Structure 1
Amino acid sequence: MSNNQYSSKLQRLKEVIITGLLGELPSITLGCECRNLLYRLIFSRIGSSVYIQEGVEFIGTSAIEIGNGVHILKGARLDAGRYHNNKLFLADRVAIERNVNIGCLDNTVIHIGSDTFLGPNVSIAGPGNIKIGKRCLISSLTKIYANDRELCDRIEPIKYQGISRQGITIENDCWLGHSVTVLDGVTIGEGSVVAAGAVVTKDIPPNSVAVGVPAQVIKCRTTKQLLQQGRTRG
């Protein structure tokens, strides 16, 4: 067994022991405080004032960074994988609701910007890199999949043709409605809104409103709307 394999197995053993012992401690007791303290032994980084409820599953904690003021609720699963070069980063004040599933594969970077909210049952998966900007609202049951099947060979079974990994970028201040699907290779421009149930298969320009399957831009957000939003934030 190589040194890297031994180190990886040892890290995984520490991860299983610590999360197994502390993961189900109720937050109303000392559960949250104990997790904040001892999870620092296995995570790449955990900031201050982090709130992790019981029943949250972590895999590949040495590749997970958690910023200040992050909230992660019951049933969430954060999997940075057991591969090298993976990174899962939650910036300051990210809020992750119940049953969110975030998964890397090999050589995957998933970055979620500060003050972004992920609603219940959101799914985010590599292996393509995924970047979600600051102050985004990702509504419940949304699916963000940075992978697709290769289909160019009519003879070879689809199962064996491999997958694409172009990646996905969702820029700052975007709002994705209930049960939106975002597919590989897409960029959603800053300040855009994607309506509930839409399937995003191509880029959405900044400050757009998109609806439908596949998603089509139906209008641009007006200067008045953007100015009103800015005043509200101020």
Structure 2
Amino acid sequence: MQFKRLKEVTLTTFFGNIPTLFFGVKLRNLIYKTLFRRIGRSVYIQNGVDFIACESIEIGNGVHIFKNARLDAKGNINNQIIIGDGVALEQGVNIGALNDTSIHIDNNTFIGNNVCIAGPGNLVIGKNCLIAANCGIFANNHIFSDPTIAIAAQGVTRVGITIEDDCWLGHAVTVLDGVTIGKGSVIGAGSVVTKNIPPYSVAIGVPAKVIKKRINSGKEVSNTQRNLFVV
């Protein structure tokens, strides 16, 4: 195990920092095939991307991963991070799994700059989703019921999060543990999602509340409300 980790650190550090313009992408794809559980065709990984526990990470075809992203699957052999075909992870995206955690980002989903996606609860983001910059998707909650014990020592709950296909989360949305966001929903910028959102809903606020449905509704979103939806 120590040798495997040493090999991973050595290869990802050396090849991960070769500038993109100097054949870095092709070299990384060639070498990373020996480290990852799976890496597909036509994958574009810029320099400066950090990978931990590559044997638990799958990357599909046509994936783009930009500088300073971090994928951390360490924990145990049940961990996995699965990145589907055509997914784009912009600069500074941080995806972290803990023990017994599965994080799956499905095909053709866009994850914006500095988004944080974290277990240990299982987490699924569907196909064709748009997750704008600075969103936080956290499939855990700290237990703090006993004031005589440090919060860090009380453990966490882990229910899990599901964001179904074709959802759009605006800038700096926070999604908390135990939430399902239904297919085709739109969440306004800065909202905090604490409860399930039905399919094809438009929701805004802290906590997020549904203000209209995208289908079978005569209501219009005002100009002020439109400004809340920013990628």
Alignment TM-score, normalising by the size of structure 2: 0.92
1:87 to 60, 80, 98: 80
Q: CA deviation at 1:17?
A: 1.2
1:38-117 to 2 correspondences below 5 Å? 38-117=31-110
> Which structure dedicates a bigger proportion of its chain to helix?
1
SS in 2 for 1:131: strand
Q: CA deviation at 1:223?
A: 4.5
Q: Which amino acid is the alignment partner of residue 123 of structure 1?
A: C
Partners of 2:193 and 2:167 in 1: CA distance = 13
1:130-149 to 2 correspondences below 5 Å? 130-149=123-142
- 2:75–2:97 CA contact under 8 A, matched in 1: no
- 1:104–1:110 CA contact under 8 A, matched in 2: yes
Partners of 1:117 and 1:61 in 2: CA distance = 21
- 2:174–2:192 CA contact under 8 A, matched in 1: yes
Partners of 1:182 and 1:20 in 2: CA distance = 32
1:107-186 to 2 correspondences below 5 Å? 107-186=100-179
Determine the structure 2 residue equivalent to 1:191. 184
1:150-197 deviation digits (Å, cap 9, x = unpaired):
133344332221100001000000000000000000000000000000
Q: Which amino acid is the alignment partner of residue 208 of structure 1?
A: S
RMSD after superposition: 1.3
How many residues get paired?
218
SS in 1 for 2:149: coil
1:191-210 to 2 correspondences below 5 Å? 191-210=184-203
- 1:11–1:42 CA contact under 8 A, matched in 2: no
Q: Unmatched 5+ residue regions in structure 2?
A: 219-231
Q: CA deviation at 1:82?
A: 3.8
Q: CA deviation at 1:224?
A: 8.4
Q: Which amino acid is the alignment partner of residue 82 of structure 2?
A: F
Q: Structure 2 vs 1, CA of residues 201 and 224 (structure 1 numbering), >3 Å: closer, same or farther?
A: closer
Partners of 2:200 and 2:138 in 1: CA distance = 22
Q: Which amino acid is the alignment partner of residue 179 of structure 1?
A: A
SS in 2 for 1:41: coil
Partners of 1:222 and 1:165 in 2: CA distance = 33
Report % sequence identity: 57
1:69-117 deviation digits (Å, cap 9, x = unpaired):
0000001001011422100000000000001000011111000000000
1:39-64 deviation digits (Å, cap 9, x = unpaired):
01110000000000000000010000
